[in-house]
A and B are shown apart, each in its own frame.
Chain A
Amino acid sequence: MGDFRALKDRIAVVGVGNTAYGSFPETDDYGLGAEAFRRAVEDCGIEKDRIDGLLVCRVPYYARMGQILGLNPRWTISLPPHGRMSAMGIIEAAAALHAGLCDYAALIYTNIGRSRRVNYGGDESPGFWDPWGMTSPGAAHALMFRRHMALYGTTTRQLAEVSVAFRHHAILHPDAVMKKPITIEDHETARPICEPLRLLDYCLINDGAVCLIMTTRERARDLRKRPVLISGIGGREAYTDASIANFDLNFWYEEAQDMARQAYGMAGVGPGDVDAFMCYDNFSPTVLFALEGLGFCGRGESGAFVEGGTLRLGGKLPTNTDGGHLSNSYMQGWALNVEAVRQIRGECGERQVPGAEVVQFAAVTPCSRTIIYTPG
């Protein structure tokens, strides 16, 4: 008791499912969530009524979701619609399963932001600095990237490598939203939204849902597919400058270093062992900050590190092989965790990383979290 590392290899993701991604005004959050759940149940072959834990994120009302799915669990958590919640939720579910608070947990994320015309800024998300015109998470990342450029000489052409690599992966993914190839020049000439960031630095907003089913390693043996184990976890928040939402003057470097120490130490691996990297990418600069903070490259060196296709399939560090938030789908980290599971299972077809055994998810945000997945 009392040491998070006791969770090492104890909990498995056994089922994953996702809806198509796009614009689905004919349905709603619950319709999307139910479809993702149905597919995850089918994926692992569990009897639905054995699920006794329910975690929902961006679902309006957890109890209505339970009603629709015919579940009366003994453990429920409802998380707010923030991108940083996916690995937070998966880690909470792992702890609950390990503690015996539930035996099988279904984690459901839904998003109907496209059909609802959600805006991430202005009066829809009021903030302290609105009187000066400062709003939106994209602007916070622009503020950080400008500073990164000034401190380290990072260029927008280097930043473009992130968007270009992920678009390449999305083209290989049957469910991805964005299918048109892009080049560094396309990135450089895209419409500016908040300089230095342009349209191709911004994530999509689309409808869809994702579901993961988790249980203990022992129970996982009775299900259909090879379990994928949670071998390392880490986390650290940065709230000191929270009045500037989604911002950190030092690119969350110390926090990412801290969570990397936790997760790599627990899993007994290092950045050099990671076969595929799933990186929360609400805006492209976040990927650079994560690469530095986790130690894939030195501090300030991420621009040079990503040059020449490092993040592409076949490159040194295949990253966001599903296309990420920039080109696959805005499932706020949840779909990237599903992709991690599918990579370890070898289910990724054209976008499969051969022999992927260590796959890491990370979100470098005001609540940084990372999870290291390995085969069970």
Chain B
Amino acid sequence: MLEFVLERGNYWAIIGLMMIGLYTLFAATNLIKKLVGLSIFQTSIILFYISLSRIDGGTAPILYGKDAKGHSGGHDEAAGAHGAASEAAHAASDAAHGAADAAHGAASHGLEHVYSNPLPHVLMLTAIVVGVATLAVGLAIVVRIREAYGTIESDEIRETDLEVARAEYAVDQADEANPA
């Protein structure tokens, strides 16, 4: 039971954070506060992806030690023997990979060290930058709303809209009553 809780406590905590963001998004009437709630929600999703990508005993996905060496040929292309030698090495390592894949679960995967899964990192890295860009668009719209309505409280905006609609309706009714 305790093991079960420890293995999933992270997810529950992240869901808690996500719900705080969702609550702010729902309950706040102020549009800027709503946007802050939205960004909390977004950060909690990023936290969730990153905690899925973690591997026990792993390290940041930057190759070091033997994993990084032997492949530095990319920088000094002059090493003529590089081509043939590495071809042979590739063939050998491909065979090794096949064996490793067969015995799935061996965390080594042909590398000396264990690294965390880099793919969610890449996805979330771009998501953060796109998130701030969309936040900027949202804020720009809020600024325009403030200039048009004089307020950024959503209930007051709704009331203003309602009043305008009623006034237009009254004018329409008056026009229909005496079409002359």
Asked if A and B are interacting partners, one says no
- Chain A positions within 8 Å of B, measured between CB atoms, are none
